[in-house]
Each structure stands twice: as C-alpha cells, then as structure tokens.
Amino acid sequence: MTKFPTPSIDWAALSPELVLLGGAAVCLVLPLFLPHAWRRHFCAFVSVACFIGAGAAAIALFQMDETGTGIVANALRRDRLAELGQVLVIGSGLLTVGVSYTYVLRERMGEYYALLLTAAAGMCFFVSADDLMTMFLGLEWFSISLYILCAIAIEELASLEAGLKYLIVGSFGSAILLFGSAFVYGATGVIGFEDIAAASSGADSLFLVTGLAMIIVGLAFKASAAPFHMWTPDVYQGAPTPVTAFMSAATKVAALVLTMRLLVTAFPAQEHLWTISLAVIVCISLAWGNVGALVQTDVKRMLAYSSISHAGFLLMPVAVATPLGGRALMYYLISYAAMSVGAFAVVAARERELARPVTLEGMAGMGWERPGLGAAMTLFMFGFIGLPPAGLFIGKFYAFSAAVDRGWAWLAVVGAIATVVSIYYYLGVVRAMYFQPAVRVAPAGGSPPRELALGTSVALAVVVTIGSFIAAQPLLDIATDAVSFLPFPH
C-alpha cells in the first residue's frame, strides 16, 4: 500500500489565520446561548480581541523572520512580505469592527462577525501563498466569505443584488485564474512559484504565456482594475457599507501583494510581457476610474470608481518590477487601506443619520454638523488626491519615482494627469460638506446619537493617515525589508 508523506507544519507561522478562525467559530456558536441583547457586544469584543491577537502574532513573526522560509511542503511562504500584508489586512478588519458595531442585522450578528473574521483569515492565507494551488484556495476562501457578506442584509434588495453580482462576476474571475493556472501547470509540470521560474525555459511558450495572461486577468478582477472592474461600482454601492469598507481596503492589499509575489517570483523570464501588460492596465484603470467618478452623485459609487483609479496607481509600482516599486507599493497600501476604511466609515455614519443612501446632496452641511467626521472626511479626500499631510502624498511620489527610474516617465505623466482630474470629484465632497445648505438629519429638539465605536475607527484611520506621513522613513524601512525577499528582475 502506497504511503503518502505527511508534510511538517509550522503552526506558529499559521498563528494569525488560526486565531482568526478560532474567533470565527466562537462568534458563530456561542451567541446562540446568549441573550439577544448581549450578542452584539460579545461578537464585537471577540472580533476585536482576535484581530488584535492575530495582528500581534503577525508582528511577532515579522520581527523573527530575517530570512524567508517555505512551510507546509513549500505551499506557503513565511517571510516579511506575507506578514506585512497580514498586518494590513488585520488592521483593516479591526477598523471595520468599529464601523460595524451599530449596524443592525437582527438575528445574523454572529454570522456577520464570523464571516468577517473568516474572510480576513483567508486573505492572510492568500498573501503567503507560494504555489498555484494555495493561491486558488486562498482566493476562494476569502471570496466566498465576501459573497455572503455582501448579501447578508437579506431584507434589502440592493444587498441581495450586490451579493449576486459579486458571486457571478467573481466566480467568472476565479475560473479564469484557475484555467490560467492549469495552463501554467500543463506547460511546466510544477505549481510552486520558484519551480515555475526554473522550469519555464523548457516549457511550451504558448501555454505558459496564455496561462500567465489568464492569471493576471483573474487577479485584476479581485484588485478592481479596469477593464476587469465591472462588478465594483454596483457591489460597492449595494453591499452594506461596513462590508464595502473592508472590501475596499483588505481585498486590494491581498490581491496586490500576491500579484507582486507571483509575477516577480514565478515569471521573471516573461517580465518583458507582464510589465507592459500591467502598464496598459494601469492607464485604463486611471482613465476609466477618474472619468466614471466625475459623473457620480452617490458617494459610495463615487468611491468605487475612485477605488478603480487607485488600482491603477497601486499597479504602477508592480508594473515597473523593481525594488523601489515594491517598496512604493507596500508603503502606499498602508495609507490607502486606512483612508479607504475611514472614508466609508464617515459615509456609514451619514447613512445612518439620513436613513437612506448618501449622495453629494446628502453630505451637505455635514462639516458643520459633525466637525470631527467632516474634518476626517476632508483629510481623506485630500489624501486620495495625494496631498499632505496624508501618507499617500509620499506613496504617490514613490510610485511615480519608480516609474521614472525604470525609464517610464510617460507612465508617471499619465498618473499625474489622473491626479489632476481627480481633484474635481474629491473636492466636490468637501464643497458639499462646507458650502451647501445643511440637510436636516434629526427631529427638532434632538440630534443623531454619537457612535463611539465608529468614531474610534475614524480616529484611528486619521492617525494612520497622518502618521504614515510623519513617520514615513520607518515605514519605508519596513516596506524595504518586506520586499527584500523578492527576486526582482531589475
């Protein structure tokens, strides 16, 4: 009888995922035995504790890993790139808990937090994938959780529609990625990223390049990069706003970190093909995202097109395939993730005050009615443009510098033009908050209650946004350490 070898497992390297999955199990089961009034507080407390615990584990691993190592038969990679990506995903999830605290789900509170923790665990697994199989498993792990989260507000037609659209289009993207992985395996006979690079010289070039193209398309779906963005505006607009906040930040982190690892590690010989392909996707995303955002009146939909535009900015340093580009990507993600969750948190607060979707007209007067949230939203809008004191100012500078250093000054010029165009719709939100007549948001004699948990999440997002600008050099050093494990072709 054939005996199959059992790989040794480094449980410490899997500790962030295990903590999150343990918390998901607790949130799913224990609330059934608690009084209904306690469930919200219990699930939120468990989620915060698990995100903090998983983040501490990822940070501890970051401090320990001075050299990258393969784990579970080299199916996963334990290195500082994966651990920094995990910290960003976990941080996004932690902020999302605050945004979700007062979100009313009636009987599905435990399921909501369990799915949030499970999605974060899947993303942590995904960013450490080191072969095609674990890459696809991680992708489906967090994608299925997000499909359900988008449709969890079953009493709202928009939420059900968002979940269905995301399921159909997301499944199509996953199928393309899986088919591309099959082509790559058929051409090389291996699935490990480093093994693919070693075997590519003798592989069938047609199969290999076709598989590479399909994998890029599948990952571009998840990153909301145009022209593979078609699900993003409808899903971001229709999904519950806390879910949109988490998706806008964490999904970008997971997709882009894995994209950079995969392309640099597995396809260095095809670098002349995928760098140009990504540069084209960058230009399309910047153009489509900005033009689409110009005509939007719904704030969530406008931020969805903004996300498509930022997918272009984030893919720019990946396309140049240099250590400077890798450093720019990881630093950019730190500030971008915080601002994305923070901006949607402000929208969520306004949405609950108005009890209807938030339009630019609905934002009128918010800067005076809610000075703290108004100031935070102003910071986020200026930050998305790329202006100080937001860390994205330095992130864009490094992304453009990486393009120029590669000899692609034209790509930096495209990015600069897109930035100028974006000023119109970002400042449109600021203009509505401060220069349009206020909208009544509460009956006479009262005002909407303050949400401490949501306000805390917004405050933390502001701290990270400004802190990434003030403490830019330490964060850039961390980003440099994270990407130092990658074999960049340039």
pLDDT digits over 188-206, tens only? 999 999 999 999 887 788 9
To which residue do tokens 């900005």 refer? 290
Contacts from 458-461 at CB under 8 Å and sequence distance 24+? 458/342, 458/345, 458/346, 458/349, 458/372, 458/373, 458/376, 459/372, 459/376, 460/95, 460/98, 460/338, 461/95, 461/338, 461/339, 461/341, 461/342, 461/345, 461/376, 461/380
| CA–CA distance, 378 with 458 (Å, rounded to integer) | 12
- Report the predicted TM-score, pTM, of the whole model to 2 decimal places: 0.94
Let me know the angle formed at the C-alpha of 366 by 365 and 371, rounded to the nearest 5 degrees.
120
In contact, 217 and 173? CB cutoff 8 Å: yes
Residue 440 reports pLDDT greater than 90:
no
**441/366 Cα distance (integer angstroms):** 10
> What CA–CA distance (Å, rounded) separates 340 from 362?
20
150 closest CA partner among 290, 295, 40, 251: 251
Residue range 84-114, pLDDT digits in tens: 999 999 999 999 999 999 886 766 888 999 9
Q: How confident is the model at residue 357 (pLDDT cuts 50, 70, 90)?
A: confident
What is residue 445's predicted lDDT score, i.e. its pLDDT?
39
Report pLDDT for 62: 85
Angle between helix 80-100 and 15-29 (nearest 10)? 20
Tell me, what DSSP letter sits at residue 77? E
3-state class (DSSP) for residue 79: coil
Contact by Cβ (8 Å): 60, 306: no
Confidence of residue 54 (pLDDT cuts 50, 70, 90): very high
- DSSP class per residue in 433-471: HHHSPPPP-S-TT--PPP-HHHHHHHHHHHHHHHHHHHT
- d(C-alpha 183, C-alpha 230), whole Å: 25
Assess whether pLDDT exceeds 70 at residue 444.
Answer: no
